[in-house]
A and B are shown apart, each in its own frame.
Chain A
Amino acid sequence: MSLISLKNIYKIYNVGGEEVRALDGVNVNIQENEYLAIMGPSGSGKSTLMNMIGCLDTPTSGLYEFEGEMVNEMDDNQLASIRNRKIGFVFQTFNLLPKATAQHNVEIPLIYGNVRRDQRKNLATEALESVGLGDRMHHKPNELSGGQRQRVAIARALVNKPSIILADEPTGNLDSKSGQEIMEIFDSLYQTGNTIILVTHEDDVAKHAHRTIRLLDGKVKEDISVAA
């Protein structure tokens, strides 16, 4: 059974009386411990597909199965719960809470997951150490460099031990050196058994992945796997 199975996914918007097909019959299966890049020019539907996979959005029609659960039938609360437990998000702009310490930022998903305080602290520490920020736990985002902020965000994505890590242009706001460091973290996360989905338009980023899906006009244009 696939970890993620998208069957005949359509997402249709109505913009000023005109029908826009952001996703136009997409079929994708993702297995456990895949390292996948979703690529495509802007307007190709890659953001929509990412939101769909991330359970931020539901399809207009089609079936979305996530570990056997039917996502397309879920209400807001169920979607929130599946995002909380099974998906770790990494954003281009980091999206950390500016007034909270690194540790507190990492604890946020655990708070929503109703994890006890002492346990939360341990898990957050563990996650921050795994991205090499064990000594920056009590720093606030404005006291950290861009690369460090993105590492906090990765720790936050990891802390709930999610089924997939979904990264949207994770290096887009970083210089090339920091970007390289971030990609190394993703590589090692993949090697320790995580499933990673990158959304990017940079070939340099995409080449880290072992499978690339290219979208164009809401359709899968190519789906190439490279032997690891």
Chain B
Amino acid sequence: MFSLFIENFRISITSVLANKMRSLLTALGVVIGILAVTLMGTLISGLDHSFEKSMEFLGKDVLYIRKYEWFGDKEWWEMRNRPNIKIKHANSILERSQYAKYVAPVSEWYTSVKRDANEISGVRVTGTTGAYAMISTAEIEKGRFFSSSENRSGSRVAIIGKDIADNLFENENAIGERIRIGNYTFRVIGEIEKQGKFLGMFSLDKQVIIPIGTHQRLFTRRGWTGINVRVDENNIDNATEEITALMRQFRHVRPTEDDNFALNRQDPFKQQYSMIKLAIGGTGFFITVLSLVVGGIGIANIMFVTVKERTREIGTRKALGATPKMILMQFLMESITICLFGGLLGLGLAWGGSFIINQYFPSEMPIDLALTALGLSMFVGIISGLAPSYKAAKLDPIDALRYE
């Protein structure tokens, strides 16, 4: 049976190559279908990758006490009237909470960072304490984090992100050098490893970290303050409840009143993200199914034409001893070959497309999806080839031989 398989494959290839333009046009639906499904897969894989990295930055065991909710249906103006988060509550939480492992107050302000004539604007200036290093997943690549005495004394020392290091120091060693943050001179004591972009929106590496006391004196009047709490990963819900209660207590919120602060976590990001993913996946799926169905009909149509054109060949083959099943397999194989050819073409285009996507955020074409796509195009080939092949198999050899 194997030689028959080879023979059928040979016939299919010959037939596809003999009608290049026709095969290409016929396979177009499958090409588009496979292109859609693989590009969608590549896009989702890229999004997944980028999302995972961004979520890593947030950490799954970190609670962010903020004035504003990251997600939710609260009105912006309602939250604006809430009191600001106070640094002193960081210590209170650490003292009173049984789930909090590390607590770091965080203040942020955006300003420019200069060294000599080089300037980077819009740099995130984070003021925090030594605990920040224990909460953040980013490692110090060179140098060190600031000590508690530096923190207490309000030293002008800074840990710089990768973007700052690359742009202001290029190949030089930044440690010990001086930079100007806003209008103030700081000494660089550390460098953070590359973190990439947050959800593809803004660079996490375009930041400097300074002691919170220093930040308070120089920048905080205009920025905002929050508290990051790293809790026991297995008790994150209990921790949320407990810390909410503590915050309410600190801020004297009456039992009838709503919280006047937000306890943010990475979870809502995930919910939001899976909705986006579902939308992309749904669209891709719809396009794929539509083009495969239309493409399949086109292939069935052209296969009927092929069977008609080759009626005499079918008659000859039957006279030479081909059984109906052998003829069926021959035309089924031809239909599958057209679809596989379309599938491979679609995959090739998607592969090229994935490079373009890769320019915007790191992604790769998932291998299992590529294989599934090929399987899918085979499936389309079988389904659309079935009726024409059956017709060929059932032809009466005498009529077929006599066919002009």
Contacts and interface: CB of A to CB of B under 8 A. Distances in A.
A139 B18 CA distance: 18
Contact of B324 (A77, A115, A117): A77
A108 B321 CA distance: 9
B322 A112 contact: yes
A99 interface: yes
Interface string A66-106: 00000000001100110111000101000101010000000
A89 B321 CA distance: 10
A144 interface: no
B187 interface: no
A109 B321 contact: yes
Contact of A111 (B4, B312, B315, B316): B4
B323 A89 contact: no
Given A56-B397, A81-B323, A116 B3 contact: yes
A99 B3 contact: no
B321 A84 contact: yes
B326 A95 contact: no
B323 A57 contact: no
B401 interface: yes
B313 interface: yes
Where chain B touches its partner, the secondary structure class is helix
Interface residues of B, number: 23
Contact of B321 (A51, A85, A91, A97): A85
A91 B4 CA distance: 24
A57 B320 contact: no
A43 interface: no
Nearest to B313: A97
Interface in A108-135: 108-109, 111-117, 120
A87 B315 CA distance: 15
B318 A80 contact: yes
21 contacts: A54-B319, A57-B398, A76-B324, A77-B324, A80-B318, A80-B326, A83-B319, A89-B319, A89-B320, A97-B316, A111-B3, A111-B4, A112-B317, A112-B320, A112-B321, A112-B326, A113-B321, A114-B1, A114-B3, A115-B3, A156-B320
